[in-house]
Structure formats: C-alpha cells, structure tokens
Amino acid sequence: MLPIERQNQILKILENKNLSKLDELHDQIPSASISTLRRDIKTLEEEGKIEYLFGGAVRLRDATGEIGFTKKKHDHQAEKKVIATIAANE
C-alpha cells in the first residue's frame, strides 16, 4: 500500500473517532507495521492534519481549526525568548 493511501485511511478512521491509539490503528490497517504507521502519523502531523499525542494516540485538529497546544508551544521559540527577555527587563 502506498503511503498516501495509508495516510488517507488513517484520516478516515479518525473522522469517526477523534482519538485512536497506535495499536488500534494497526488493528484496522494490519498490512502496515507499527513503525510505518508512526511515520505516517508524523507526516500527517507535519502537514497539520492531525496532532500526535504521547502514548501513541492521534487526534484530528479542533473543528475550529485551532492549532493544538503542543504545536503552539514549539512554534516561534526565538521570538518568544525575545519577548520574555524584554518583559523581564521592564
């Protein structure tokens, strides 16, 4: 199965269930190994289609389209440090 086919299948599974553990995905896509599914999940996360959670679970982004806290936490680190430095000096 092609990576895009697996990734689309993962997204389809998550449409019906917002949270799914990696082993549950493997049960539904047995032709792919756990490590392959993990790579697909990371690719989908990089594309902003899902959010990877600790414990091997994934979920779709909020229906409002808001980016998850985990992603926000790591975005714009340099800018956040500059703001914190300025705020601390005032």
3-state helix/strand/coil string of the chain: CCHHHHHHHHHHHHHHCCEEEHHHHHHHCCCCCHHHHHHHHHHHHHCCCEEEECCCEEEECCCCCCCCHHHHHHCCHHHHHHHHHHHHHC
Residue 60's pLDDT is: 65
Arithmetic mean of pLDDT over the chain: 82
Residue 62, pLDDT above cutoff 80: no
* CATH class of segment(s) 3-89: mainly alpha
pTM: 0.62
Whether the CB-CB separation of 63 and 33 falls below 8 Å is answered with no
pLDDT, mean of residues 29-36: 92
Per-residue pLDDT tens over the stretch 10-29? 888 888 776 778 888 899 99
Q: Where are the domains of the chain?
A: 3-89
